[in-house]
Amino acid sequence: EPEVTQTPSHQVTQMGQEVILRCVPISNHLYFYWYRQILGQKVEFLVSFYNNEISEKSEIFDDQFSVERPDGSNFTLKIRSTKLEDSAMYFCASRAETGHYEQYFGPGTRLTVT
Amino acid sequence: AQKVTQAQTEISVVEKEDVTLDCVYETRDTTYYLFWYKQPPSGELVFLIRRNSFDEQNEISGRYSWNFQKSTSSFNFTITASQVVDSAVYFCALSEEGYSALTFGKGTMLLVSP
């Protein structure tokens, strides 16, 4: 069964460093999302991406964040200058274009900023 | 603005008990979608069910059943004859259009003891 994959599973970085989180969505899906979950809290939407552009973003998704689909399979989230409060689990999700509105999530990347 | 409330923070049951997880939502849209996701201790988010606002038919899938009531803006989830493997955090989520971001509730942690 097709699934969303994410790498790395765990990333440790120092405050102020740039990180790139990578995702491979399900191959025939066209909508892509990033969410984050601070430990013990609810899942929060960051950004959605469709047709090579951002379709929606939350207040969390400020200028420090960017997304890119560099090729036909990868979808990346970049944090330019990490802060301690960026420590969280980051989930990528994807969705088919029509008919099925459920989003399928990857296993997540745990980002630890020290 | 849309909102999802899961008032039960944590529920503990003994195996074979039935348990109902509550979800109340707020939205101004007439077309919306409701979801339940399971987050086991391993951390991934597993899609369980999607419901459209125009389809109030309840659904049963094995030991799982869902009760959608527009009159009370609720979408409750019942596990019949719970098992230890059901132990997880369960999230209810809402999207106001077919492709937009999911708004999650805070989740209910279900602990099923043998």
Give CA–CA dist B92/B64, Å, rounded. 14
Does the beta-carbon distance from B50 to A101 stay under 8 Å? yes
Mean pLDDT lowest for which of A4-8, B19-23, B26-30?
B26-30
The CA distance from A82 to the nearest CA of chain B, in Å, is: 23
Cβ B99 vs Cβ B33: under 8 Å: no
Report the residue from B35, B98, B106 with minimal CB separation from A42: B106
Cβ-Cβ contacts under 8 Å, B46 against chain A: 105
B7 touches chain A (CB under 8 A): no
pLDDT digits (tens, 9 = 90+) for B61-104: 899 999 999 999 999 999 999 999 999 999 999 998 756 799 99
pLDDT digits (tens, 9 = 90+) for A25-71: 998 898 999 999 999 899 999 999 998 999 999 999 999 999 999 88
- Does residue B38 surpass a pLDDT of 70? yes
Does the beta-carbon distance from B106 to A104 stay under 8 Å? no
pLDDT of residue B98: 57
Which residues face A57 on adjacent strands?
A47
- Does residue A3 surpass a pLDDT of 70? yes
Q: Which of A3, A26, A42, A50 is the mutation pick for testing B, counting most B CBs within 10 A?
A: A42
pLDDT of residue A77: 98
The CA distance from B40 to the nearest CA of chain A, in Å, is: 11
pLDDT digits (tens, 9 = 90+) for A86-112: 999 999 999 987 766 789 999 999 999
B92 touches chain A (CB under 8 A): no
Q: Which of B102, B106, B109 is the mutation pick for testing A, counting most A CBs within 10 A?
A: B102
Question: In Å, how far are A44, A89, A108, B42 from A8, measured between CA atoms?
Answer: 20, 11, 9, 16
Give CA–CA dist A43/B106, Å, rounded. 8
Percentage of residues in chain B having pLDDT higher than 90: 78
Does the beta-carbon distance from B106 to A45 stay under 8 Å? no
pLDDT of residue A99: 67
pLDDT of residue B13: 97
A61 touches chain B (CB under 8 A): no
Question: In Å, how far are A39, A74, B89 from B49, measured between CA atoms?
Answer: 24, 27, 15
pLDDT of residue B100: 78
For residue B111, what pLDDT band results from cuts at 50, 70 and 90?
very high
For residue B49, what pLDDT band results from cuts at 50, 70 and 90?
very high
Q: Which of B4, B107, B84, B92 is nearest to B49 (CA)?
A: B92
Give CA–CA dist B67/B23, Å, rounded. 10
Does the beta-carbon distance from B33 to A101 stay under 8 Å? yes
Q: What is the mean pLDDT of residues B7-32?
A: 96
